[in-house]
Amino acid sequence: MTTKSTKLPGLGKQYDITTRTGRHISVVAHQDGRRFLGFYQQDDPDACQATVQLDKEEAASLAEILAPGESPRLGTCEMEIDLVTVRIPLSGQSPYSGEPLGATQARTRTGASIVAVLRRTGAVPSPGPDFRLEAGDTLVAVGTREGVDELTRIIAGT
């Protein structure tokens, strides 16, 4: 792993990290505490794929999570809830193939939430009720074990 830092006069400092697997990640640390994370393509270390802006508080929380050692002291409350995340394939035989997501009534019927839909073309986070499902989609659902099991049966049409 290599790390390089570059002063950015009047702005702050840029830190470039190349991981052992060859991934290039950049952090621009502004003097006012804001941070920008940059993620670069592996085959072209100069082509930025995405950036994420973090304010001072968000940057501190992320740093605490990433730091090795004790569990982070997050500014949120922790609850012991038995939730699971599952991926549910949507086949062409599903009664919901070609239908809007709202037609599943997933949350009402099972208590489980469909939080994303994975397609060959990419992920669709937080799809709305009008989002049209297609055969080959994979639904990402969160809920209790019982809820996601029931949702799996509903999506399969069994």
pTM above 0.75, yes or no: no
Long-range contacts of 146-153 (CB under 8 A, 24+ apart): 147/110, 147/111, 147/112, 148/84, 148/86, 148/88, 148/110, 148/112, 150/109, 150/110, 150/112, 151/88, 151/104, 151/106, 151/109, 151/110, 151/112, 151/114, 152/86, 152/88
Tens-binned pLDDT, residue by residue, of the chain (158 aa): 677 888 877 778 888 888 888 788 888 888 888 888 888 777 766 677 888 888 888 888 888 877 777 555 545 445 556 788 899 999 999 999 999 999 999 999 999 999 999 998 889 999 999 999 999 999 999 999 999 999 999 999 98
Q: How far apart are CA 128 and CA 115, in angstroms?
A: 9
